[in-house]
Amino acid sequence: MSNSKIVIIGAGLSGSLLAIRLAQRGFLVELHEKRSDMRKVSMSAGRSINLALSDRGINALRLIGMDEFMLDEAIPMTGRMVHGLDGSLMLQPYSGRADEYINSISRGGLNIGLLDKAESYENITIYFDSECINADLDREICQFKKPDGSIVDVAGDLFVGTDGAGSAIRQSYFNQSARLRFSFSQQYLSAGYKELHIPPTENGGFKIEKNALHIWPRGGFMMIGLPNLDGSFTMTLFTDFEGEYGFNAIKTEEDVENYFTKYFPDAYALMPDLKRDYFINPASSLGTIKCYPWQFNGKFLLLGDAAHAVVPFYGQGMNCSFEDCVVFDQCIDQFGDDWQKVLPAVQELRKINADAIADLAVGNYTEMRDLVADPVFIKKRKLETKLEQMYPDYFSKYSMVTFRADLSYSYAQSRGDKQNEVLMKICSQTDDVDSLDTEKIMEMIRQL
């Protein structure tokens, strides 16, 4: 549709997907990645191993014709399997509808699939080991450092920074804060995370329920587990750095053993390499990044984690970033390659929703570590599941965020909060959810 040359900085998940979509539209795309080709060298540490792919992300994959290919590599998770301290198990379905579930997928596998596809387009050129060190907003170029140390200026009609939470493009905005009136925030949680591992059974089977996201809520901290195709589970311990349950309280192998036998005895029995893994794998921090503006002068744009890094507790980081690409594509439908119109439109459409999912994700930490074991909350989830089964027009906050890509995050947040208030109040006043008058409840919900 145009001879526009688009330079994408960062060949992670959203950068690769965006490159494919823009190539499909006929643009000339340069895709620069600071790391080496992950298909040739082992991936660098510090990123989550698997992710929960849900409807907003699937929508984006469908846009580029890769949804079925990717879902073949994913494991459906139909609910949260809550592990009690006493070894009890309770499955809390994500939805009352059978076709609404999330999918555990390998970050590396997904990224490699996207890179392979990107490489099949003649109008995409991928540059690995090409690190953006500066976006020169006045000269309208980006500067890349090459393996031999040389600095190369790259021109283009449009620069999209999908270079993640540590974005070089965003840093270039930040360096001109007063001029751009560049608002920025990074907010760390007191909690961090550490990845651990449950290996498969000897014959490659799953040691615990395959089709669930496992949670060990412990009030103030928690562990979760997501299934991998090889039968293993990637476990993540989320806890504060400081304090009685904190990472900093665990210093020796004996501390590890005491901690896990005390708080996660059923999982401990399944983690033979725990003591080794615990001290090899880092405890990483968790933070939210927000900023504004995302675009400069119809020439530069931040998307994905570069514009809005979120904590992982709603499983929406990748899904939100992929949805950015869908909205970008819709704005091209509307404005063509008139970037002076496309970029501000993308920014206004997405900023409010990125803020919403960022705040939802912080709030969901409390829900996951504390509430999923709370009696009133359990009743509320039971009631919601029932409402979703009985009423086609009922959707929980979780469902709206996760399964209703036709609703915005900000709508899901405001409506979801109102619904929760009503339902938590009802559930706090009854012991028997099944005896409730669902018609009357739905009347209240519909009036919100």
Contact 200, 230 (CB under 8 A): yes
Whichever of 157 and 359 has its CB closer to a copy of itself, that residue is 359
The stretch among 89-97, 175-183, 402-410, 435-443 that binds a copy of itself (CB under 8 A) is 175-183
Nearer to a copy of itself, 186 or 252 (CB): 186
Residue 278 structure tokens: 């615990």
We find the least distance from the C-beta atom of residue 47 to a copy of itself, in angstroms, to be: 14
CB of 165 to a copy of itself, least distance (A): 10
Strand order in the sheet with 5-9: 124-127, 28-32, 5-9, 158-161, 300-302, 295-296
- Collapse the DSSP code of 165 into the 3-class scheme (helix H, G, I; strand E, B; otherwise coil) and give the result: coil
Is there binding between residue 287 and a copy of itself (CB under 8 A)? Answer: yes
Min dist CB 169 to a copy of itself, Å, is 17
Q: Which of 120, 285, 297, 334 binds a copy of itself (CB under 8 A)?
A: 285
Identify the bridge partners of residue 28 per DSSP, sorted by sequence position: 5
Residue among 443, 329, 371 nearest 64 (CA): 329
CB nearer to a copy of itself: give 69 or 184.
184
Helix (H, G, I), strand (E, B) or coil at 217: strand
Asked if 340 is part of the footprint of a copy of itself (rule: CB under 8 A), the reply reads no
Of 2 and 171, CB closest to a copy of itself: 171
**DSSP for 31-58, written as a single string:** EE-SS--TTTSPPPSSS-SEEEE-HHHH
Q: Is residue 175 close enough to count as binding a copy of itself by CB under 8 A?
A: no
User: How near is the Cβ of 187 to a copy of itself at its closest, in Å?
Assistant: 5
Q: Which residue has the tokens 């690190």?
A: 131
- The beta-carbon contacts of 428-431 under 8 Å, at least 24 apart in sequence, are 428/376, 430/379
Q: Is 188 in the site for a copy of itself (CB under 8 A)?
A: yes
- How far apart (Å, rounded) are the C-alpha atoms in residues 69 and 158? 30
The one-letter amino acid code at 301 reads L
Gap between the Cα atoms of 216 and 238, Å rounded: 10
181 binds a copy of itself (CB under 8 A): yes
**Toward a copy of itself, which CB reaches closer, 64 or 191?**
191
Contact 311, 288 (CB under 8 A): yes
* The binder of a copy of itself chosen from 4, 125, 171, 284 (CB under 8 A): 284
| Radius of gyration of the CA atoms of the chain, in A | 23
Residue of 120, 175, 190, 252 interacting with a copy of itself (CB under 8 A): 190
Closest to 309 (Cα-Cα) out of 365, 370, 361: 361
Gap between the Cα atoms of 435 and 67, Å rounded: 41
40 is a contact residue toward a copy of itself (CB under 8 A): no
Q: How many residues bind a copy of itself (CB under 8 A)?
A: 16
| DSSP code for 26 | T
Task: Provide the minimum distance between the beta carbon of 381 and a copy of itself in the complex, in angstroms, as a whole number.
Answer: 32
Q: Quick one: 190 or 430, whose CB is closer to a copy of itself?
A: 190
Q: Which is nearer to a copy of itself, 182 or 335 (CB)?
A: 182
Q: What secondary structure letter does DSSP report for 201?
A: P
Check binding of 283 to a copy of itself (CB under 8 A). Answer: no
Q: Of the ranges 78-86, 139-147, 187-195, 438-446, which one interacts with a copy of itself (CB under 8 A)?
A: 187-195
Give yes or no for residue 330 binding a copy of itself (CB under 8 A). Answer: no
Angstrom distance (rounded) from CA 189 to CA 362:
9
Choose the stretch contacting a copy of itself; rule: CB under 8 A; options: 27-35, 178-186, 335-343, 349-357. 178-186
Each residue 388-417 as x (binds a copy of itself by CB under 8 A) or -, in order, gives ------------------------------
- For residue 92, the 8-state DSSP code is E
φ/ψ of residue 119, rounded to 5: -65, -20
Q: Which of 39, 76, 155, 187 binds a copy of itself (CB under 8 A)?
A: 187
Single out the residue of 178, 203, 333, 431 in contact with a copy of itself (rule: CB under 8 A): 178
Best CA proximity match to 399, nearest among 416, 382, 383 = 416
The answer to whether residue 184 forms part of the interface with a copy of itself (CB under 8 A) is: yes
Selected binder of a copy of itself within 175, 177, 252, 430 (CB under 8 A): 177
Q: Out of 121, 127, 241, 391, which residue is the one contacting a copy of itself (CB under 8 A)?
A: 241
153 phi/psi in degrees, rounded to 5: -85, 130
Give me the phi and psi of 228, to 5 degrees please. Answer: -115, 155
Distances, alpha carbon 422 to alpha carbons 95, 372, 406, 416, 446, in Å: 19, 18, 24, 10, 11
- Select 285 or 430, whichever has its Cβ closest to a copy of itself: 285
Of 29-37, 90-98, 283-291, 326-334, the window that binds a copy of itself (rule: CB under 8 A) is 283-291
By the criterion CB under 8 A, which residues form the site for a copy of itself? Answer: 177-178, 181-190, 241, 284-285, 287
